[in-house]
Structure 1
Amino acid sequence: MSNQAIQAEQECRFQHSCGAIELLIEPIEKDLGDFSARRVLPSIERKMVGPWIFFDHMGPADFSPGRGIDVRPHPHVNLATVTYLFEGEILHRDSLGSLQCIRPGDINLMVAGHGIVHSERERPEVRRVAHRLHGLQLWLALPEKDEEIDPAFYHYPTKDIPDTLAGDVPVRVMMGAAYGVVSPVKTFAETLYVEAHLQPGQTLSVPDAEERAVYVAKGEVTARGTVIPEYSMAVFGQESGIILEAVRESRIAIIGGEALGERFVEWNFVSSRQERIEQAKQDWQSGAFPKVPGDDSEYIPLPE
């Protein structure tokens, strides 16, 4: 998705905690037109967790016939986007010529590198009927040595994403390694992204990483007596042995990895260099970015 505002950092609600949890972030809903998203990262008090610098929970949004997702072409630099759906479908197009539907359980990884343009729409068959969209979109900052690599697009169907049991809890290891399995999804730095579905009373240990957080997409969990409510993210300290317990049926995403250092974020651009973002803004305004084949008649202008 495209960020609607030039400044990406959100005025979320925060609670400072003790013990295993350093910060509890409650996102504020952002109106994206026909649907809304809960934007957790970047925020004023916490810009990144490991290499993750953007975290949106889209929907769930119910669309009547004739309506749906219609994100016009927009640019990215020096980052990688990760799209994952719980329900619905998105049609991805980009300036490399990629044309790919993403469906629940798949992962779309788009590496912007020195610059890419993409759109996110829906097939006519989907828009013709009432439908729902629900999922997560995340951005990864790239290590400085990889910020200007050639753009690339990778699609991983659901059958290629490994799942296992952590005790009696079903987990999917989307990126990185955890619970004895390794995801095939390409990474550029040490990266952790896990999804789990817990029933009331079930427990799950949080994998160790330099930085870690858990987002509760559904339900409610606790960590060492601290409640992590639905639609909130708990950022953990570095101590090991953190156990999550489900208060009610819960769907969670655990993210993390190695810290990459300071990054600047404006609109859809992320970089270790502010001057690179200024250049990207000028390039978009001047039309220097490549076009999206099959979707080149409109675009999202740079916000004021």
Structure 2
Amino acid sequence: MRAYPRIRFMGSKYRLAPRLAEVFASLPPGPAIDAFSGSGVVAYTLKASGREVLANDMLVFTSTLAEALVANADEQLTDADVARICSPSRDGRDFIASTFDGLYFPPSDHAFLDSAWSHIDELEGAKRALALSALCLAAAQKQPRGVFTVTTPRYDDGRRQLRMSLQELFVEAVGRCNAAVIPGRARARCGDVFDVNEPAAVAYLDPPYAPPRDDTCYVKRYHFLEGLATYWRGQEIMWETRTRKLAKRHTPFASKRTAPDALDRLFDHFRAADALVVSYGSNAAISGDELEALIGRHRRSVERIELEHRYAFGTHATAQRRAATEYVFVGR
């Protein structure tokens, strides 16, 4: 689990993965589903424990991470692959350089992303997913706080990655991705959670947490990575926005008005699983008691585990205010 590449991702369970591994070990053996796989670290944890895993997420870039690092059992990028991706452009494309000129990264970094994509377009399968994952990891590392809601350097915290080129960060990221590849049976898919219909001993559910204020729109925060994973093909760019955002995608889990019904439907959808493991935060609009009651509608027994957690990087005052209790409910 320590080998899994870390990415600054809203709601990531990287720090909680060891504790979740203990929970999974207490449950019936058999295949598992990570229905909202996000950064992929929990699906990877399930795979590392010996379970067959299905990782699902609605975002392309997170599903690509799962394809490269969870579903992939033995493929790696070679030095020759990396040299080719880092070589001059195959076709002179400049979509990223022209679309994001003056935003996020220097012109040389944008040119590298265009050039890298010209070679990645010739890759297939796990190698393609690995290369795109490394590109996304590099871009997330160089963007302060890892989100693409701002275009200025005001959050520059002095990390060395902010001084490195994206090509240098890409090469480092390839090494981390290659090192994380482990044998085992796993699959990755990109789609709506209610289209997942697989038998499972364990269904792990980590839906977006409906906040009291603001929102949990992952597309708003990670639109550049979502576009980068697809070269913006099939994506709707909001050209009128300064940040070149992608159109928002509705999810009923993100609103305190629609979340209770959506969660009730979710727990019913996975009623055939031997056990449900549900993650949720105490700083959400839905209380732990409400969530426990919803799970209890579909399970004979519900155990609540409370873990102290902080959904932020850093030690600044805002980060400290984001300290919360992570609820882990186990429904049998």
TM-score (norm 1): 0.31
Which structure has the highest strand share of the two? 1
Which structure has the highest helix share of the two? 2
- For the pair shown, which has the larger CA radius of gyration, 1 or 2? 2
